[in-house]
Amino acid sequence: MARLANQPTAATTTATPGTSVVRAQLKALDGAIARAVPTGMSPQRFQRVVLTELSKNPKLERCASKTVLGAVMTAAQLGLEFGPLGQAYLVPYKDVCTLIVGYRGYIDLARRSGQLRSIVARPVHANDMFDFEYGTDERLRHRPADGDRGPIVRYYGVALLADGGQVIHVMSLADIAKYRARSKASDNGPWITDPEAMSAKTVIRRMVPWLPMSVEAAQAIETDEQVISWDGEETTVDLDTDEIIDVESSEPTDQPAAPQAEPGPVDEPGESA
């Protein structure tokens, strides 16, 4: 994690009357946030969005302030914004705050490598035409049904690489449910408010190890759905191996397809949801 020195700690920053400790400390981090966010991202807007999230969910201000600030600083370093864009979420878990990277956040991070033509994840409904095959001749076809599409039965992701290769990955609802069950926010936050986006995010996250990866994407995997503490100088991930989704060691039933030199047919490859 990046070290941002000479910033106030929880012990040295106090709230004024009517202002929470978290808000007071957040205000004191103006300079650190301005240095952490990438070029082109407004630190003022980032701060305003964070304050809005605190107002929308009062439980966050009852979390340990160092964990709220840790999630905020990590999102700033990753260049991900909270709120309606769905790039990242602040989610209270017991008495701490967890950072959850959203579907659109993973899409943005994956694209930063500059080696992707497109990447998308979509739901498949029971009445859709859907066919896929792994192996030496990868192929995937999906045609949404007209009218009633029925319930969602699976999700898939497709990444087209700049060199002409592709990565496809299909997950059943049962596979996705396994990862949701291991999340600290399985019954809270975006898994409740945006379950389809979180299911799509799960597919993309499972594809990341097979994609050209930016530094930010690697950091997102390390910090996603984790408790992150800020000590006034740097962020630290409080790893809990019993409850994290480990991309490297936890293998799903279906494996992502290896990149292929000649992509098979894929419906609407250029669209990014």
Tell me the whole-structure pTM to 2 decimals.
0.74
Instruction: Determine the structural domain holding residue 137 and report its residue range.
Output: 21-238
pLDDT at 256: 56
Q: How many domains does the chain have?
A: 1
**pLDDT, tens digit, for every residue of 89-118?**
999 988 899 999 999 998 888 888 888 889
What pLDDT was estimated at residue 261?
43
| pLDDT tens per residue across span 131-141 | 999 888 889 99
249 falls within a domain:
no
pLDDT top residue among 240 and 167: 167
Predicted local distance difference test score (pLDDT) of residue 120: 93
Quick one: average pLDDT of 177-195?
A: 85
Residue 215 lies in a domain: yes
pLDDT band at 188 (very low <50, low <70, confident <90, very high): confident
**Cα 72 from Cα 193, distance rounded (Å):** 20
**Contact (Cβ atoms closer than 8 angstroms) between residue 135 and residue 164:** no
In a domain, residue 9? The reply is no
Answer yes or no: are the C-beta atoms of 97 and 22 closer than 8 Å: no
For 13-55, how does the pLDDT look when each residue is reduced to its tens digit (9 = 90+)? Answer: 444 434 478 888 888 888 889 988 988 889 999 999 999 999 9
Separation between Cα atoms, residue 68 and residue 92, nearest integer Å? 9
Q: Structure tokens of 33?
A: 């946030």
Instruction: Calculate the average pLDDT of the chain.
Output: 80
User: What's residue 16's pLDDT?
Assistant: 40
| Helical segments of the chain, H only | 21-28, 30-36, 43-56, 65-78, 103-111, 173-181, 190-193, 195-207, 215-223
**Choice between 46 and 10, residue whose per-residue pLDDT is larger:** 46
pLDDT category at 202 given cuts 50, 70, 90 is: very high
Is the pLDDT at 186 greater than 70, yes or no? yes
Q: Does residue 13 form part of some domain?
A: no
Domain membership flag for residue 63: yes
Weakest-pLDDT range from 9-23, 68-82, 151-165, 173-187: 9-23
- Quick one: pLDDT band at residue 272, thresholds 50, 70, 90? very low
- Provide the sign of the torsion angle of the four alpha carbons 254, 256, 260, 265, taken in this order: positive
Residue 254 maps to a domain? no
Tell me the sheet residues that pair with 130: 142
Residue 159 lies inside a defined structural domain of this protein:
yes
Location of structure tokens 């033509």? 117
Tell me the three state secondary structure of residue 228: strand
For residue 100, being part of any structural domain is answered with yes
